[in-house]
A and B are shown apart, each in its own frame.
Chain A
Amino acid sequence: MNTQSKGLFAEIRSDFPLLQRRVDGRPLVYLDSAATSLKPDAVIRAERAYSEEYTANIHRGIHLLSEEASAAYEAARHRTARFLKADPSSVVFVKNATEGLNLVARGIGLTKSDRVLTSLAEHHSNLLPWMREATMRFVERDPLLPLDPAKVLQAVETHRPRVLALSHASNVTGIIEPIAEICQALRGREVLVVVDASQSAPHLPLDVVGLGCDFLAFSGHKMLGPPGTGVLWGRKDLLEGLAPLVLGGGAVTVVSGSHYELKPIPYRFEAGTPNIAGVIGLAAAMDFLDRVGFESIAAYEEMLAAKMETELSNVPGTRLIMSTQRRRLALAEVVLTSSRLGPDEVALMLSDTFKIMVRSGFHCAHPLFEQLGLTRGAVRASAYLYNTEDDISELANALRSILK
């Protein structure tokens, strides 16, 4: 990474108002982006403009403001389609990835005789919706390495699942899964591939056709967008056959006392008034990310990941868990070796004494922590494009002070 690129990312920091905040006179170090990212001015302004300039419901009124709001909302859909290299009609706005995954799990008509294949490294949001509907099977894997497409194929042939549900990137280890290679390996098999892209959408370019998956879901709040926004993309023929999770106004064309007719996709999946301001803000977030460029983001984050690996692996009293692959997220788990000091206590001290915001606990991935033998959880640091190498050094120094 050259100095000019570093300078670009240093300038980006000024786009994030929260980084100007001082707590007890000190600036914040935000290393919890895998949970929720900070919001740039552009996103805040876009959301605010809806409330200040053209507040109205969409797709219903014919007055000026409603038309403006509808246009902005649909422009966001087109923007999202470009982000995914997909058709706008295959883009469904949901409140988050969890809702998107639930919509698929509920809507494809699974029964307990159906099997869903996944991995124990999944976030609860990509386990529980399937667990409720079907019978679970798991790909055997080393959770600290990316999945082996050949092993996935073997598991598919063994278990014959109706669905393969995988995350694109891990919120615990930062590992990026070879989804395209897995889909390639499964070509011709009768299995739906559903991808949880919550952790990849903020960091990697997404090309749903190139990936070869059938459904893909992600949340807006982890990729600079507003909370309460998310996207489910699906192959159009599959969306046509998907039963909506929620019914109501906006999802139907005809309603009588005894029957109704659904609107075409994607509107049938968006009953009720959606998070209009949020969706408009999400489109602004995508603009922001594309302006910076995912290639630059990936290179910059790899520099942060390398810094994490160097700095955090030298903190006495800890063990570091993070991906060692070349393609990875800048995300690390700091496991405390002392049985007398817990991750929550350390995270609280990092926050209140050092103003460093990190996550502690099990990160909604209990089965993975169990598999890793981490019964007390860990402290997670997750960086994004507004972080600096100094942030990582501050974290390492603070941990050394606490664990001296």
Chain B
Amino acid sequence: MKTIEPCVLRRGVSLTHSPDTLVLCDEDIDLTIEIDLGDCGSSGPQVFTGDPLRLSVNPESPCASEVIDILKRAALAEEGLSPREIRRRQSIFQLLQLMDFVLSEIPYYQSRSAYASVPVTSVEDLQALPILTRADLRANLLELIPRDLRLSHGAGAEGLTILSTSGSTDERLQALVGNEVATGPEAHTRVWTGTEATAPVRTAILTTPTCSGTVCHLGQASFEERIVDNTLSLNSSEDFFSIDRRYVEQAAEELHRFAPEILLVNPVYFHWFARKARELDIPLPAVKWLTYSYQYCSQLQKSALEAMFRVPLLSWYACTEAAAVVGQECLHGRLHVRAEQCLVETIRNGVLAQPGELGALLITTTAARTMPLIRYQIGDVGSLVDEPCGCLLNGCPSLTLHGRAKDMLCGLDRWITTRQFDEAISDTPDLDFYSCTQTDAETLRLEVIPALGQEAAFDRTGLAHKLSCRLGFAKVDVRVVTRLDPIPSSLKYRQTCCAYRQAPAFP
């Protein structure tokens, strides 16, 4: 058999070979590519073991050009490339695969000329495609899944799940998600430890009781019933600021018994819980990592929880409908885009924002195949930069999340994001929680919960003056309260909200 010189695979690329498939895995990137060898017959690729791995392909084989093309385009057989360049090439590779897939399988994209008429050959070409909104998802749910996917046959099986979410904007939404993308804790701990998890990572969750109809809102289900696949869902509460000693004792006891490595929490819920435990002198177990998801976290909660547990509180930024981890915070404090799962764009006034410039976040789920989303406007605002990092996600852009677009405050000459407000308030001494509502063009109404024992002494006047100077509002009314009220639909707590004017989708 005539063969060409074997391709030498880049270090870190492994492969699994069967007569029908060739599975290439770029372990540094967490990217897996499966090539169907069905047409190759006995003239398929030959694998030579060794370090590095070599792969030889018969040039006359029907799949020769495809295999070589993939190796090249996915940067799997070329040494000396920077991490950024590898990720760039692989992102393009995945994007083109996604476009091929959606144009052949997904009725929504097939039926809209904008997708078929724009040749996408680079990430930049995405700009010419329409933006997908939550309203689009609601109206076209069944058109956004592969035409041969039968809900009545598949829901609940083969990892397909129908989820409801209110997500970043508190708008109702359903989503169909598959299991083609790894979103479990093992996918994250590798970034933090540098090594593959050898056993499932035990995770405990304390978040809103509405985060999922099947997981977190289990009410009085037993401890054993609330453990699914090494994950314990602690009973939440619809009125978390009213939790009592009995609740804290039970949750603490369950945490000690379960001994999680990761605590995945809603930061406001968990800060209140941990503060209550401290007040009642109820010890909580040590954990390796504290994580939160789906939202911007105030510096107040981050600092308090990190000080209490002496571990970092790390973001694992995701959205239910995308079935992807959009970003992951590394131990250097950077929220990296998980480039092997999705692409993130920031747009401002309809055009791409400059690096570091604030914009609305759009995501394209390049690895999803159940309900792939192209330029989906997630409802949050933030900025992107490319900067080198010492972590495994080096080469992935860093995202600075600013919170929900709809939560922005209307300043004198600009919209103020939740992050920007948080930066203005979070150096306030003896402050644990806050919630800020803008009631008219010049007035902020701020509810605050001071640190334990500081309620009477809390300097409301000083805080009002500081915020007025820093943000330019003429009147800042600060009230000390004993509890905050959540958003009724999601039971999450909003740090900022503009009650008199609707914030724009784009900053």
Contact = CB atoms under 8 A, between A and B. Distances in A.
B140 A353 contact: yes
B155 interface: yes
A183 to B, nearest CB: 43
B141 A340 contact: no
A317 B150 CA distance: 11
A26 B152 CA distance: 26
B157 interface: yes
A345 B162 contact: yes
Interface stretch (A148-156, A268-276, A361-369, A396-404): A396-404
A18 B164 CA distance: 25
Interface in B134-164: 135, 138-142, 150-157, 162, 164
A348 B155 contact: no
A25, A26, A349, A401, most chain B CB atoms within 10 A: A349
A165 B232 CA distance: 46
Interface string A307-320: 00000000001000
Nearest to B156: A340
Contact of A353 (B139, B150, B154, B213): B139
Given A24-B139, A340-B157, A352 B151 contact: no
A191 B68 CA distance: 88
Nearest to A404: B150
A299 interface: no
A338 interface: yes
A372 interface: no
Q: How large is the interface on B (under 10, 10 to 19, 20 to 34, 35 or more residues)?
A: 20 to 34
A353 B138 contact: yes
A349 B153 contact: no
Interface in A1-55: 24-26
Interface size range of chain A in the complex: 20 to 34
Interface in B151-185: 151-157, 162, 164, 172-174
Contact of B152 (A24, A341, A344, A353): A341
A353 B151 contact: no
B142 A340 contact: no
Contact of B151 (A24, A344, A351, A402): A402
A352 B138 contact: yes
Contacts of B142: 349, 353, 401-402
B428 to A, nearest CB: 41
Interface in A331-371: 336, 338-341, 344-345, 348-349, 351-353
A353 B141 contact: yes
Contacts of A352: 138, 141, 172-174
Interface of B: 135, 138-142, 150-157, 162, 164, 172-174, 213
21 contacts: A24-B135, A24-B138, A336-B152, A338-B155, A340-B151, A340-B155, A341-B152, A341-B162, A345-B162, A348-B164, A351-B172, A352-B141, A352-B172, A352-B173, A353-B138, A353-B139, A353-B141, A401-B142, A402-B142, A403-B151, A404-B151
Q: Kindly list the 5 A-B residue pairs having the minimum CB-CB distance in the complex, ordered from nearest.
A: A338-B152, A340-B156, A24-B135, A353-B141, A352-B138
